[in-house]
Amino acid sequence: METLLPGLIKASYFLAALLFIVGLKRMSSPRTARTGILWAGVGMLVAVAATFALPGLHNRELMLAAIVLGTAAAWWSGRRVAMTAMPQMVALYNGMGGGAAAAIGLAELIAAAAWINAHPGQCAFAAAPAATCLAPSATVLAYVGLFIGAVSFAGSLIAFAKLQGWMDRRFVFSGQRALNGVILLAALALGAWTLTADFGSGLQVSLLAIVVFAALALALGLLMTLPIGGADMPVVISLYNAFTGLAVAFEGYVLQNEAMIIAGMVVGAAGTLLTQLMARAMNRSLGNVLFGSFGAAGGAAQAIAGAQKPIEAADAAVMMAYAERVVIVPGYGMAVAQAQHKVWEFAQALIARGVKVRFAIHPVAGRMPGHMNVLLAEAGVPYDLIADMDDINPEFPTTDVVLVIGANDVVNPVARTDPSSPIYGMPILDVATAKNVIVVKRGKGTGFAGIENALFYADNARMLYGDGQAAVASLIAELKAMDG
């Protein structure tokens, strides 16, 4: 048994890594996606069970208590939360993972420091280091993982707070970038200094320096995320997701745990690519998201002539009932109003009258790519009625009515026409080229980017003011009255 057990544990980690990769692969196709998470879940259970069996570990009661507590709290909150709140929940759980990776780095570095300080010189780089010493490469990666994990932890929690609406304002002050730079440099210097103590002969490693190093990383994550506007949050969450993956991989190397290395690295790479795809969909470079000052250039934007022209629900309903083609463009406003079920009910009523109805989804509609698709799927809208931006844009000129529900910046024509606009160059749904546009909107305010929308003033656009859910409900009622 004593000789068999380590092999069994290694085999379990191998199985877990395999199941994670197969699970993720299955999640990348709509047909197999649902079983993908099951496979990955089994992998996780196998890995956790194997770790319990690891010989020589102490504090097993504490382990069990922490697992039960953490699992119960997260399970409960994850079950309870509304589908519209999913993006911030991903941010929250991702932050927890980053925090866990940072905790591993902190614990291992503190333990290593205690050993070095008790045995001066034995881990020196020049001498043949004792077997109990943390290898130099592992020590470096422990610091790097601690740093990245702590940035991801603090940053994700800020992202969560912002999306949850606990923190509305962007927090900007002059010299912010310089301060971030100073913090980064200070952390690098401190890390390098403790490393020389780790490997120098006879030097004492300062525990305080390690803790300050972690605190600097936390401060950087906080300050990096505070000035970023809500519209850029999905990109940031995805970036921190990749960060956590990398931190997990590095701490996995420190602990010589294959499952952590592979799973962490796969997520690190996948998350980086996903972040790029998202940033590209918004026509923003990653550097721009992190360091740009979004909205600051808004003052120079061209003034928009004309007035918003309101329309009554009855007129809007007639317009669509006798149209040949109707395209519905949902945005975050629809998600907030929980109107997706009503919208689908309305679409079905139109389809029953012989109208060709499709849904057009901008790559960053909602708060995350695909978020809107998930919400429409929840309401029961079949895939084949949902079109991507590239597929639907050529069809707008032949579309009779476009119904825009709670979308704003992603249909704003200034992204094409006004080079001084902060969203200039962002690919948009070209709804302004349709014969008629009806915009369901709560009030006259601007979108998340804080930019006036030229579409609302266009000659072919009509505004249907009201809460998304109520407005669509009245459209349905008007349709029914017509049949009467």
Partner 1 sequence: MIDGFLALYIFMLAAFTGYEIIARVPVILHTPLMSGSNFVHGIVVVGAMVALGHAQTPLEQVIGFVGVLLGAGNAAGGYVVTERMLDMFKASKKKEGG
Whichever of 79 and 169 has its CB closer to partner 1, that residue is 79
Task: Give the Å distances, CA to CA, from 153 to 170, 218, 403.
Answer: 19, 7, 40
In DSSP notation, 129-151 reads --TTSPPHHHHHHHHHHHHHHHH
Residues 6+ apart with CB under 8 A from 304: 452, 454, 457
Kindly state the smallest distance separating residue 322's Cβ from partner 1, in Å.
Answer: 27
Whichever of 278 and 320 has its CB closer to partner 1, that residue is 278
Kindly state the smallest distance separating residue 55's Cβ from partner 1, in Å.
Answer: 10
Give the strand pairing for 356-361 and 325-330: parallel
Kindly state the smallest distance separating residue 197's Cβ from partner 1, in Å.
Answer: 19
Whichever of 275 and 436 has its CB closer to partner 1, that residue is 275
Cβ(421)–Cβ(303) under 8 Å?
no
Residues 6+ apart with CB under 8 A from 410: 329, 331, 362, 364, 365, 426, 428, 429
Kindly state the smallest distance separating residue 259's Cβ from partner 1, in Å.
Answer: 6
Task: Give the Å distances, CA to CA, from 84 to 98, 173, 184.
Answer: 24, 31, 35
Q: CA-CA distance, 397 to 206, in Å (whole number)?
A: 68
Residues 6+ apart with CB under 8 A from 372: 330, 331, 334, 335, 361, 362, 365, 366
Kindly state the smallest distance separating residue 474's Cβ from partner 1, in Å.
Answer: 26
Whichever of 87 and 155 has its CB closer to partner 1, that residue is 87
Residue ranges of the alpha helices (H) in 164-206?
Answer: 176-199
Residue ranges of the alpha helices (H) in 28-135?
Answer: 33-52, 60-80, 86-118
Residue ranges of the alpha helices (H) in 322-368?
Answer: 332-336, 340-352
Whichever of 43 and 422 has its CB closer to partner 1, that residue is 43
Cβ(15)–Cβ(45) under 8 Å?
no
Kindly state the smallest distance separating residue 33's Cβ from partner 1, in Å.
Answer: 5
Cβ(328)–Cβ(359) under 8 Å?
yes
Kindly state the smallest distance separating residue 164's Cβ from partner 1, in Å.
Answer: 15
Cβ(386)–Cβ(376) under 8 Å?
yes
Q: CA-CA distance, 14 to 8, in Å (whole number)?
A: 10
Whichever of 69 and 477 has its CB closer to partner 1, that residue is 69
Kindly state the smallest distance separating residue 147's Cβ from partner 1, in Å.
Answer: 15
Whichever of 255 and 351 has its CB closer to partner 1, that residue is 255
Q: CA-CA distance, 140 to 132, in Å (whole number)?
A: 16
Rg (CA), the chain: 27
Closest by alpha carbon to 98, among 236, 3, 5, 203?
236
Whichever of 49 and 189 has its CB closer to partner 1, that residue is 49
- Active site positions, annotated: 409
